[in-house]
Amino acid sequence: MRTMTSCLVVGAAALVSGVVAVAGLPYTIVDTGQVRAYDATKEIALPHPGKPFFGQDANYKGNQPSYRDNGDGTVRDRVTGLMWQKSPGPKRTYRQAVTGAAKCRTGGHDDWRLPSVKELYSLILFSGEDPDAMGASTKGLIPFIDAKTFDFKYGDTANGQRVIDSQWATSTKYVSKTMHGNETMFGVNFADGRIKGYPTSAKMRGRAKTYYVLYVRGNTAYGKNDFRARGKHSVMDRATGLSWTQRDSGKGMTWEEALAYAENLDLGGHSDWRLPTAKELHSLVDYSRSPDTTRSAAIDPIFHLTQIKNEGGKPDFACYWTGSTHTRSGMGSAAAYIAFGRGLGWMTDRRTGKRALLDVHGAGCQRSDPKAGDASRYPYGRGPQGDVLRIRNHVLCVRGGTAKVQTEGPALRVVTGRRPPEAHGPERGGHPDFVSRLDRDGDGAVSAKEFDGPARHFKHLDKNGDGKISKDEAPKGPPPGRRPNRR
């Protein structure tokens, strides 16, 4: 039986805790792969220093993704020192995902494990694009993982799944509960580019919820931080080589303001601070902590994050901007954030029609917000679980690492079609959340494909029979239909 005693790497290598990692770092952050730049809505040429929107993900080139297909069903990540299975195989229940690792013999190895969410998130690429949640075709879609290296799969629409039902399991369980008391694990959705809390045992339409699974081996130090305070203002993570502001911005701001705040920050004798990428910021999450279990943010207490009152009036912690745009249909009106507080959402009881504000995805989830706008226009959030929208999020800044400034990028793409729904406010007339929640192509109405209820309800609401539910036809109460799936 073959064993791996070292990993092929890029750049200088050193032995750390029994593993080989880039430049002697056991927790090397891989670049997101985002090379295109965006303003508050659309793609733009890469900004130059001092110009609006400079400092975003595409302006900084880090450790580039680099894989080697070993030809035996395994893939070696040259940057992180991790080895992966190439194919997830069929979906499995969470129990099957956990127990299957010990039985796995891919590539002749017997030390496979179910990855932590930090390990699995190392594979995410923000060159992907968020698809229509209710779409049926995968043609032209771009996933948030290297589909040339890994055998990526969208949801099986032929068997009643949605295109976005591509949730991949991890070993990281939430220390609290989501929804109405669900035991929860944090999974990565490589179809829509998010981390959310998913049930470990709940059933969907009478069947146990299932997930794709990639087992991992090697570099057992990956995902483990080694923080040291640097004076009164910053924290060094000796595991990643990154330095962070010890305190946050103290207030929320739009994405453009967050970029400018980071680029103009002069703190601790350093002026090279920047807004972190999604993968850099995610490296700070401490999944052993949460507001409900430790009365803290999901981050090491060496950091001092501003406490807020959430939409339900409870003590909580903010969401934090990243420099990574979360694209959709070639547009860029949303950016990724990490929730160090509860991952809140408004869930509607289909029997009573009443809404409840719940921790739907957990502290440590990664979702996205519009880069600009008025959060009051989204009183009950957006998406299948009514994700709370704040738009003005807080900021932690980063410096160091291998990031190099980029001001030249690929040629701009010509994007046709309407603006995505993130750019739209609420509809007037009818229920204030109905059209804005379901209108995914941004035409101000809800088509049969976008509608999330039974076909007979759609026909009832489409009074003029034009195939769309307009703002004037929208229901006056909560939208009818089935209870949304866990996205």
- Euclidean distance between CA atoms 437 and 133, whole angstroms: 11
pTM for the structure as a whole: 0.83
* Residue 214 and residue 231 in one domain: no
> Residue 136, by phi and psi: left (phi above 0), alpha (psi -120 to 50) or beta?
alpha
- Euclidean distance between CA atoms 133 and 192, whole angstroms: 9
Which stretches of the chain score pLDDT less than 50?
1-20, 417-432, 477-484
How many domains does one find in the chain? 3
* Residue 102 and residue 85 in one domain: yes
* Residue 312 and residue 211 in one domain: no
Residue 22 DSSP SS3: strand
Query: Domain for residue 89, yes or no?
Result: yes
Query: Domain for residue 405, yes or no?
Result: no
The answer to whether the beta carbons of residues 328 and 439 sit under 8 Å apart is no
* Residue 147 and residue 249 in one domain: no
* Residue 76 and residue 166 in one domain: yes
Q: Which residues pair with 188 in a beta bridge?
A: 168, 195
Between β-strands 83-85 and 74-77, what pairing exists: parallel, antiparallel or unpaired? antiparallel
What local confidence, expressed as pLDDT, does residue 23 receive?
A: 60
Nearest CA to 9 out of 444, 215, 17, 24 is that of: 24
What's the CA dihedral at 407, 413, 418, 422 to 10 degrees? Answer: -30
Query: Domain for residue 343, yes or no?
Result: yes
Query: Domain for residue 475, yes or no?
Result: no
Look at the block and give the residue holding tokens 């929320």.
252
Query: Domain for residue 416, yes or no?
Result: no
What local confidence, expressed as pLDDT, does residue 486 receive?
A: 52
- Report residue 210 as tokens: 């299932």
What local confidence, expressed as pLDDT, does residue 351 receive?
A: 87
- Exposure of 158 by Cβ count < 10 A (0-12 exposed, 13-18 middle, 19+ buried)? exposed
Provide the domain limits for residue 324. 227-400
* Residue 393 and residue 263 in one domain: yes
Give me the DSSP letters along 156-176.
Answer: -GGGT--TT--EE--S-B-SS
| Residues of the chain by 3-state class (helix, strand, coil), percent to 5 | 10, 25, 65
Helix residue ranges per DSSP H, 61-114 = 94-100
* Residue 212 and residue 239 in one domain: no
Query: Domain for residue 421, yes or no?
Result: no
Residue 94 DSSP SS3: helix
* Residue 199 and residue 235 in one domain: no
Residue 326, CB-side half-sphere exposure with 13 Å CA sphere: 28
What local confidence, expressed as pLDDT, does residue 208 receive?
A: 84
* Residue 295 and residue 360 in one domain: yes
CA 461 to chain centre: 34
Of 152, 183, 218, which residue is a domain's last?
Answer: 218
What local confidence, expressed as pLDDT, does residue 403 receive?
A: 94
Query: Domain for residue 462, yes or no?
Result: yes
* pLDDT tens profile 166-221: 999 999 999 999 999 999 999 999 999 999 999 998 665 667 899 999 999 999 99
Residue 435 DSSP SS3: helix
- Euclidean distance between CA atoms 12 and 7, whole angstroms: 12
What local confidence, expressed as pLDDT, does residue 133 receive?
A: 79
Query: Domain for residue 481, yes or no?
Result: no
Nearest CA to 324 out of 286, 362, 365, 371 is that of: 371
* Residue 236 and residue 297 in one domain: yes
* Residue 148 and residue 193 in one domain: yes
Q: What residues contact 96, with CB distance under 8 A and at least 6 apart?
A: none
* Residue 317 and residue 384 in one domain: yes
Q: Which residues pair with 387 in a beta bridge?
A: 345, 382
Of 359, 382, 400, which residue is a domain's last?
Answer: 400
What local confidence, expressed as pLDDT, does residue 22 receive?
A: 58
- Report residue 202 as tokens: 């709940």
Phi, psi of 57 (to 5 degrees): -45, -50
Look at the block and give the residue holding tokens 């009183």.
379
Of 166, 191, 218, which residue is a domain's last?
Answer: 218
